[in-house]
Structure 1
Amino acid sequence: MLGFLTARQSGLDDPLRLRRAESTRRVLSLKLNPDRDVDRIHGNGINTIDIEAVEGRYMLSGGSDGVIVIYDLENYNGKPQYTCRAVCTVGSSFDKTMKVWDTETLKPAEVFEFEGNVYSHHLSPIARKHSLIAVGTKNPKIQLCDLKSGSRIHVLQGHRAEVLSVQWSPRYEHILATASADSKVKVWDVRRASGSLFTLDQHNGDKSKASSEAVNTAHNGRVNGLCFTGDGLYLLTTGTDDRMRLWNSATGENTLVNYGKVCNESRKRLQFTVSRGCSPEFVFVPCGSSVAVYTLHTGELVTMLRGHYNSVDCCEFHPDYQELYSGGKDCNILAWVPVLHTLDVEEESNKGAAGQSSVNPAFQDAWSSDED
C-alpha cells in the first residue's frame, strides 16, 4: 500500500490504482462489526435489502412480515458504537400488487395489479429513454410497467414457469435478464417484439452433454438468483442445483468458472451481490446461515462470513465504503465492515525489495489504464 501512495504522490501512477488496491484490501478484511447495530424491526425473515445510490445514506429492507423499513446508516454520535435507526416503516403485503410509493408522503402513487404473486421487480438504474419496471410473478409472462403512463404496456413471453428474478443491465438500458423455475435464464432487448435475444445454455451448445429435455437450460433446477457485474459485461446466476455460473452477457457464453458447491435451498428469489471498484472483483452469496465470498473470475472461495443464526436470504454491497449488509430468517440485518489497520513500514519495504508478497494475491492490483 505504501508503494501505491509513494507512486501517486510522485505522479508516477494513476490515483485509481491506489483506490482499487485499498478497496480490495477493505473487502478482504470484512468482519462482523460488534459496534454497529441495525434496529430490529421485522417480526419475520428478511427477504431483500437495498441501498439508495445517490447519497448511500439510506437502506431499505423488506420482510416476510409484509413490512418495508427505511434505515438511516449515518453515525451522528461521533462514537464507534452506534445503531442504524429505522426512519419509518411502511405496511405492505403479499397481495398480488406492485406499489410505487411517494417518498415524501409515504403513500402509494401507483398500484399495479397482477393475477399471481409478485416475486421480483426491478427499475433500470441507468435508463434515460424509458421508465419501465420489469415484474416477475407466478405467471410465466414478464410484465413491463410504465411509470409515465401508470399502466402495463408490454408482456415478454417465453418462460414456462414462475419468474423468480428480473434484472436490468447496468450497461445497456434496454437489456433485461430474467430467471425462472423452468431452469432457464433469458436475455431480452425490450425494443424487439420477437422474443428473447438468447437463452443461456450451461453446455454452450454441446448437445452431447445435454439431454433433449435439458437443452438451453442455465441450471439443473430452479434459477432463483440474477446479478450483473458493475460494468454489465458479465451475468451471474444461482440455482437450486447448488451451482453458481458466470456468463458473458453479450454472447450468453458460459465462462465455465467453477465455484464449487454453492448451497441454495431457497425456493424464492435469492439476492446476492458483486463488489465494485476492486481488483479482482468479489461475489457475496448467501450460503446457509453464512455469506460466501468468492473471487469473481477464478471461483476461489475467499472466506465465509458467519454471524446469522438462521438462513441468509439477501445481501447488499455498499460501494462507497466497501461494506456489506446481510439479512436472513433470524430477522437480523448484520453489518460487515472492513477492519482498519496500519501496515508495518519495514515489512512493506522488505516486500518491495524482494519483489515478492506473502499477502493474499488479490492485493496485487491487476488493473491497468489500458483496460476499458
Structure 2
Amino acid sequence: QGDRDPAPRRRQLPPEGRYLLSGASDGSAAVFDLKDATEYEAGFIAKHRSILLVDRQHQHGHKFTVSKAIWYPVDTGLFVTASFDNYVKVWDTNSTQVVMDFKMPGKVYSAAMSPIATTHMLIATGSADVQVRLCDIASGAFTHTLSGHH
C-alpha cells in the first residue's frame, strides 16, 4: 500500500552540482535546477520549481514510495529510481521515458551505483527479501545475487 505523505525521501547532487534529483513517498521523482531560483524567502532562502516530474500519472511512474533516486554517475542524461512498488527503473532525463526496468521480488529499499564506474553500468539494489542484486543496465539482466544479509 502506498504512502500519502509527499515528503522528499532521498536526494543526490550530480558531480556538476546544478541539478537536484529527489524521490518522494507519493511515488514521484523530480529534478530541480539549483541555478534557477523562482523566488527568495526572507532574502536568502531560494525556492525552485521542478523542471522534470514523473509521478503516478506518468505512463511508467512508480505506484508507491520512491525509496531512492540517483543520477547515473557519468552524466545527468540518465537517472535511476527504486520504489516500494518492487521496481528499479532507469530513466532518460531528456525524454522522461523509462529505458529499462527491473522487477524485484519485494519492496526496494536502496539502490547505488559506483561513482567511478566507467566500464560497467551496474546498480546494486537491496530489497525486502534481504538479498542484494546487481542489475546490469547494459544487458537488462541481474548479474549477481548476494545472499545472507539479515
TM-score class normalised by the smaller sequence: 0.7 to 0.9
Based on CA coordinates, which of the two structures has the bigger radius of gyration?
1
CA offsets 1:90-128 (integer angstroms, 9 cap, x no match)? xxxxxxxxxxxxxxxxxxxxxxxxxxxxxxxxxxxxxxx
1:286-365 equivalent positions in 2, closer than 5 A: 286-287=126-127, 288-308=129-149, 310=150
Corresponding residue of 1:273: 112
Which runs of 5 or more structure 2 residues have no equivalent in the other structure?
39-48
Cα deviation for residue 290 of structure 1 reads 1.2
CA offsets 1:52-86 (integer angstroms, 9 cap, x no match)? xxxxxxxxxxxxxxxxxxxxxxxxxxxxxxxxxxx
- 2:134·2:145 contact (CA, 8 Å) conserved in 1? yes
Query: Counterparts of 2:64 and 2:110 in 1: how far apart (Å)?
Result: 17
- 2:24·2:67 contact (CA, 8 Å) conserved in 1? yes
Counterpart pick for 2:13 among 165, 168, 181: 168
Supply the AA of the counterpart residue of 1:293. L
Query: Counterparts of 1:277 and 1:259 in 2: how far apart (Å)?
Result: 20
Query: Counterparts of 2:22 and 2:122 in 1: how far apart (Å)?
Result: 22
Query: Counterparts of 1:223 and 1:167 in 2: how far apart (Å)?
Result: 13
Cα deviation for residue 223 of structure 1 reads 0.8
Supply the AA of the counterpart residue of 1:261. M
Corresponding residue of 1:237: 81
CA offsets 1:231-266 (integer angstroms, 9 cap, x no match)? 1231100111101110123x152233131235216x
C-alpha spacing 1:277/1:307, structure 2 compared with 1 (3 Å): same
TM-score, normalised via structure 1 length: 0.33
- 1:185·1:200 contact (CA, 8 Å) conserved in 2? yes
Secondary structure of the equivalent of 1:197?
Answer: strand
- 2:124·2:135 contact (CA, 8 Å) conserved in 1? yes
CA offsets 1:10-69 (integer angstroms, 9 cap, x no match)? xxxxxxxxxxxxxxxxxxxxxxxxxxxxxxxxxxxxxxxxxxxxxxxxxxxxxxxxxxxx
- 2:82·2:110 contact (CA, 8 Å) conserved in 1? no
Supply the AA of the counterpart residue of 2:53. T
C-alpha spacing 1:196/1:298, structure 2 compared with 1 (3 Å): same
Cα deviation for residue 294 of structure 1 reads 1.1
Query: Counterparts of 2:95 and 2:61 in 1: how far apart (Å)?
Result: 10
Q: Work out whether 1:215 is the aligned partner of 2:69.
A: no
- Report which of the two has the higher share of strand: 2
C-alpha spacing 1:164/1:252, structure 2 compared with 1 (3 Å): farther
Supply the AA of the counterpart residue of 1:224. S
Which runs of 5 or more structure 1 residues have no equivalent in the other structure?
1-159, 202-213, 311-372
Supply the AA of the counterpart residue of 1:198. L
- 2:20·2:34 contact (CA, 8 Å) conserved in 1? yes
- Report which of the two has the higher share of helix: 1
Corresponding residue of 1:180: 24
Q: Work out whether 1:197 is the aligned partner of 2:51.
A: yes
**RMSD over aligned Cα, in angstroms?**
2.1
Cα deviation for residue 215 of structure 1 reads 1.9
C-alpha spacing 1:299/1:263, structure 2 compared with 1 (3 Å): farther
Query: Counterparts of 2:73 and 2:123 in 1: how far apart (Å)?
Result: 11
Identity %: 15
Query: Counterparts of 2:146 and 2:118 in 1: how far apart (Å)?
Result: 19
Query: Counterparts of 2:124 and 2:105 in 1: how far apart (Å)?
Result: 11
